[in-house]
Amino acid sequence: MKIYGDLGSGNCLKVKYTADHLGLPYTWVYIDIMKSETRTPEFLASFPLGRIPAVDFGDGRRLAESNAIIRYLARGSALLPEDAFTQAKIDEWLFWEQYSHEPYVATTRYHIVYLKRSLDEREPWRIARGDAALNLMDSVLAGRQWLVGEAMSIADIALLAYTRLAHEGGFDLASRVALRAWIARCEHALRLGPAQG
């Protein structure tokens, strides 16, 4: 299995975290999005969506989109329990992450980390929606250890990747006690060092 991605990208880190946690062997192929390496004819021939992360399974099968990848990798494992309703609740968080979290938290971070904008250049509407997403997570996690069920799932991995890096986009996690405790639980379960900030 070859994983094409950038270790600075939360979407790519989701795939790395899942593969590492499950002990799946892979080769990491670094792709520099700032050099338009997802737009080359060679890359697009294999991955027509032109996005990372992307996975080549080495047998003609290829897959893109982070949440589709982690869902596929996790099948048959504790990260994606067999119960259909539990899977639907996990999917609920995966869809929410891509629609209500990533466009605000991750994009604000992208502007600062990748495009080198200052904190003063952040878009107020994007900050407000990012804060709303983080507040919702903090509220939900105040009453539970994990987003779905009694153990870590791919819902947690999907949301951990950018949430633990939110400070790099200028988001303050200090007052979000339940959220910070959940980040620490996830980092411990995945054997990650704590994110700085």
Using a cut of 0.85, tell me whether the model's pTM lies above it: yes
Q: How far apart are the first and last CA of the chain?
A: 33
Q: Count other Cβ atoms within 10 Å, centred on residue 12.
A: 24
Asked if 133 contacts 140 with a C-beta cutoff of 8 angstroms, the reply is no
Asked if 12 contacts 58 with a C-beta cutoff of 8 angstroms, the reply is no
pLDDT at 196: 60
pLDDT band at 132 (very low <50, low <70, confident <90, very high): very high
* Domains present along the chain, CATH in parentheses: 2-74 (3.40.30.10), 84-190 (1.20.1050.10)
Give the CA distances from residue 57 to residues 54, 93, 139, 176, in Å, rounded to whole numbers and listed in that order.
Answer: 10, 26, 39, 39
pLDDT at 193: 84
pLDDT at 197: 57
Q: What average pLDDT score do residues 51-80 get?
A: 98
pLDDT at 194: 82
What value does the mean pLDDT of the chain take? 96
| Whether pLDDT at 76 is above 90 | yes
Q: Residue 42: exposed, middle, or buried by beta-carbon count in 10 A (0-12, 13-18, 19+)?
A: exposed
Q: What percent of the chain has pLDDT over 70?
A: 99
Residue 28, beta-bridge partner list: 3
Q: What average pLDDT score do residues 17-23 get?
A: 98
